[in-house]
Amino acid sequence: MFATRTSSFASCLLKFLRPALSLRMSTTVVAEESPGLPQKRPHEDGEDKEAEGDIQGKKPRSDFQRIKRRKYAVLICYSGQGYLGLQRNPGMKTVEEDLLKAWLEAGVITDEAFANAKAVEFQRAARTDKGVSAVRQILSAKLPLEVNVDEVNRNLPEQIRMVALKRATKGFNCKGNADARTYSYMMPSFALSSKDDPISPDFRITKETIDRTNEVLSIYLGTHNYHNFTSKKSFSDPSANRYIMKMTCDEPVVCEGMEFVTIYVKGQSFMLHQIRKMVGLAIAVVRGCCSESVITKAWAEEKLDIPIAPGLGLVLEEVHYDRYNQRYGSDGMHEAIEWSSVQPTLDEFKHKFILTSIVKTEKEENSMISWLETLPMHTFDIRKAHRQHALIAENGGNEDEAEEDATKEKDDDSCTTGKSDSGDISKTNGVTLENTSKIEEHSGEAKS
């Protein structure tokens, strides 16, 4: 009986210890297979880890992540002829599209960054539109520590050049850190001749006309509301206020038998069409098509009919970084964003690809002559649609009464307007002023 109880107790004890003995034997076998080495758990194996990464949504590090990159300020220059502007636009021929392709081919950026430039924090300082050129356009982006500029240029058309780049701070933004932009507008000097004189390529401007032009341009200096000098901006929009620091007309130069003058304007920033409308209105004042009071009137709330000069002669000359340079330019780690060391290269490019192109195109297409012929079509007064809207508001929303007031106002204007040299107060060059649609846009403009 005692033997039976002992056997039963041993059987129960063995049953209880069997799982522990089995686990110990298993561990011993694994240790013997790889003596002296730390053992991996099954999920630490390469294939299992990859599968786990897929489950968690983790991706392997890309080439972009492995390459050390730093923020740079990049200097480029280009002629805008044949391009639909600077900014990348799918399916369109733009300067940025060609530049990013060249960066990709030169190994500066990856396919991922080419498809989405935000991956390298790409930014432009000033957005130029169709046909507009730039001598010192600045870009900012995170680029490799070593960039072969010559290799980039080998992949670019000759009218676009990457000139230089400088190491910038981590948070540098070429648009946000800019203090001001300087543009130039090159045009035939006959644009400033009197409206009573025939338009001729043989015209030569006088010192008195240059002085008068600078007097008119000085009216723009300071901060004013430029809602009338752009599109889709209301008078109440704070962003319509812009600060103009300098605006002058330079001495004339003769190119291929035609005399040209250049207007330089420096401002904190500019809106779509703003510079071309400023130049267009200044030309109208100097020629005697309207009084200079129209300029100050344009800063008021009413919408005026203001001409927009051709886009051909508009050039981005420089982007200024005075405050940035003062703070970081001499800290020992970064460089001042200025380009005096490459000035000869920039001058050569400007003459060969920008100024020559402007002169050649002007002589072939006569864009300024064509535009001057449309200048008398402008009223330089309140736009008809805006006037009608104001009259409706004054009459409590009654459109019939507003129409009667508009007709009466039109008749009153006809009775009080002085006659022109031709003796016809309602027509100029055979075009009825009141019924002529306003001439607005013939080509592109800088945006910034």
Residues with catalytic roles: 129
In 250-333 the beta strands, taken as DSSP E runs, fall at 253-255, 258-267, 314-320
183 marked ligand binding residue: yes
Q: How far apart are CA 213 and CA 190, in angstroms?
A: 13
Rounded Cα distance between 237 and 217, Å, is 24
- Give yes or no for a contact between 159 and 352, defined as CB atoms under 8 angstroms apart: no
- How many other C-beta atoms can be found within 10 angstroms of the C-beta atom of residue 103? 26
Separation of alpha carbons 358 and 135, rounded Å = 14
Give the integer Cα–Cα distance in Å for 35 and 38. 9
DSSP state letters, 401-441: HHHHHHHHHHHHHHHHSPP-TTS-SSEETTEETTTPPPP--
C-alpha span between 343 and 242 (Å, rounded): 29
Contact predicate 311/442, CB 8 Å:
yes
- End-to-end CA distance of the chain, in Å? 105
**Residue 410 token pair:** 């039109």
Give the Cα separation of 225 and 238 in Å (integer). 8
Q: E-assigned strands of 79-200?
A: 123-124, 133-144, 160-167, 180-188
Rg (CA), the chain: 35
Give me 291's structure tokens: 């009084």
Length of the chain: 448
Nearest-angstrom CA–CA distance, 20 and 4: 26
CA–CA gap between residue 350 and residue 159 (Å, rounded): 10
- For Cα atoms 17, 22, 25, give the angle at the middle one, nearest 5 degrees: 125
Binding residues for substrate: 183
Binding residues: 183
